[in-house]
Structures are given as C-alpha cells and as structure tokens.
Structure 1
Amino acid sequence: MHKLQQAIAAKVRPVLAAHNGDIEVIEVTPDGFVKVKLTGACASCPGAQQTISEVVETALKEVCPELQGVIPVQQVSDDLINQALRLLRKDKIQA
C-alpha cells in the first residue's frame, strides 16, 4: 500500500490537481484491484474513465505490476439523493 500511496502522490495527484481534482483510495481488494474515488472537478468529468485507465492505472501498475486493475467508485452525496427524492415526490403529488 505504501508504494501505491507514493505513486499517487508523485504521479497521479499532480495531474488531477491541474484539473482541480483529487483521488481517494477506497480499498485494495484481496484479488488485486484498487478501488478509487475521484473527487473535485474530476468526479463529474466526462473523461473520468479515461483518466482512471490512462493516468491512475498506468501509474499504479508501474510500481505494483501485480495489480489486476483500478475500479472507480462513484459515490453520490446524501444531499444529492435527498434533492432527487424531493423532486420525485413533488412530481408524484402534483400528478
């Protein structure tokens, strides 16, 4: 995990920071996958999947070639879920 954190700090974070984003490692699975969450502007970027494969996965596999891959985890905030529920419930009441 230490090598992964170093690679993220040195190679991934600077790229993401240039686009007002960042990355959070959620977990390293027993079968060799790294689950990550992009944050900031990168979280909602249309090119996020390309960033995961070309920047994140490439940098991490350089230091840990045994990794199977990188899995993006998209978490929706509770506030966004509550806003959506309010909209849905409002439409139901008016119908």
Structure 2
Amino acid sequence: MALVTVTDPARDYLAQLIEKQDVEGMGVRIFVTQPGTKNAETCLAYCPPNEVVPTDEQLDMGKFTLFLDHNSVPFLEEAYVDYSKDQMGGQLTIKAPNAKVPKIDDDAPLPDRVNYILASEINPNLAAHGGDVSLVEIVEESVAVLRFGGGCQGCSAVSLTLKQGVESTLKERVPEITAVRDVTDHTVTENAYYQ
C-alpha cells in the first residue's frame, strides 16, 4: 500500500497542469500545514527542481514526480488524491485522514491512544455541533477524565453523548479504558448546542 494514493484521473490532471508550466523537471509537492492539530491542511504545490529538498520522499507518478515533505510524512499516511470531472470542469480532492493526528501504534502510551481516538473518530462527530472533547488525564483503574468544550459545554444532551458515544467508542477502541469521567463545568451554557 502506497503512503499516498493518487488516482489515474488525478495523475493525468496534474500532469496536464505541469505541462502548462513549461519548466523542465517540474514536480508536485504534497505537505501538511500545522500537522497534528485540528487546523491541519493538506496542500499540493508546484515543485520546480530548485525547490526540491534532499529529505523529501519521492514517488514516481510517470509524467512527474510527487515530492512528500519529510515532516509531513507521518500525517500523509493513507492520503488519497482524486480528480473528478463535473459541470464546472472538475475538482481535485485530497483526503488525508491522519493529517490532524498522526497514526499511532497499538503499543503507544495509553494517553496517546486515547487522544488519537478522540481526534480521529469522536471530535469530527462532535464538530457538527460546534463541540469537542479533550483528555485531561487518566486516573486510577484506567478511567479517562475528559473535558467537553464548544457546543458540548453545558449541553443538556452531553451525558447521553458521553455515555453512548464517547465512552462506548473509547472502551471499544482502547480496551484498557474502564470508564469515562466528565470534569466539564456544565453550568456554563452560553455556547451549548442544546440548552
């Protein structure tokens, strides 16, 4: 499995764009800005030969080379670049599921694994309500102490969200976790999604 998958339509589209640049040896660089944060963005840019960095990983795309920014590599795992034609011409899409959080190993420390599940699976769902949850600490008997923020703070549905969504997902994905405790001050309700 390639680190980054570029579909044939995306490859052809990028090759056409590069031809128009009329620069010998022009490639494409893929990188992540603010990797490992919720503001991470995955970007593609032209990469002329004089901007190639020795530490870049290089993938041969046939008509051009795709350069992977060295520091972005852990965040580009399972990234997917596609191009689909539409009425307006077409759209290039980049999906990088690990841009906001690098993939971690099964033997990573418990807090790292909990944070990974929060960032990759739980917070994207809470974001629809303008909310998020973060790990405060893991206390005795592997209880994850969490704090809800944004639209989850003071939300009347948070105990349901906590028990059915967050706790069940965490216990399923990180079997060592025995329970989840919420330390959020839910008396503050001004941003709550449900009041």
Q: TM-score range by the shorter chain?
A: 0.7 to 0.9
In proportion to residue count, which structure has more strand? 2
Aligned ranges 1:13-28 → 2 under 5 Å: 13-28=123-138
| 2:163 is equivalent to residue 50 of structure 1 | no
Gaps of 5+ in 1: 81-95
Per-residue CA shift, 1:17-66, capped at 9, x if unaligned? Answer: 01000112111012210010110111111000010111111121122112
Q: Is the radius of gyration larger for structure 1 or structure 2?
A: 2
| 2:144 is equivalent to residue 34 of structure 1 | yes
Percent of pairs with identical residues? 28
Equivalent position to 2:179, from 69, 75, 84: 69
More deviation, 63-72/46-55: 63-72
In proportion to residue count, which structure has more helix? 1
TM-score under structure 2 normalisation?
0.37
- Structure ranking higher on relative contact order (CA contacts 8 Å, 6+ apart): 1
Gaps of 5+ in 2: 1-110, 189-195
Deviation at 1:76, TM superposition (A): 7.1
Segments of 4+ in structure 1 off by > 6 A? Answer: none
The answer (yes or no) to whether the contact 1:8–1:59 under 8 Å persists in 2 is no
- RMSD (CA atoms): 1.8
Q: Secondary structure at the match of 1:62?
A: helix
State the number of aligned residues: 78
The answer (yes or no) to whether the contact 2:147–2:183 under 8 Å persists in 1 is yes
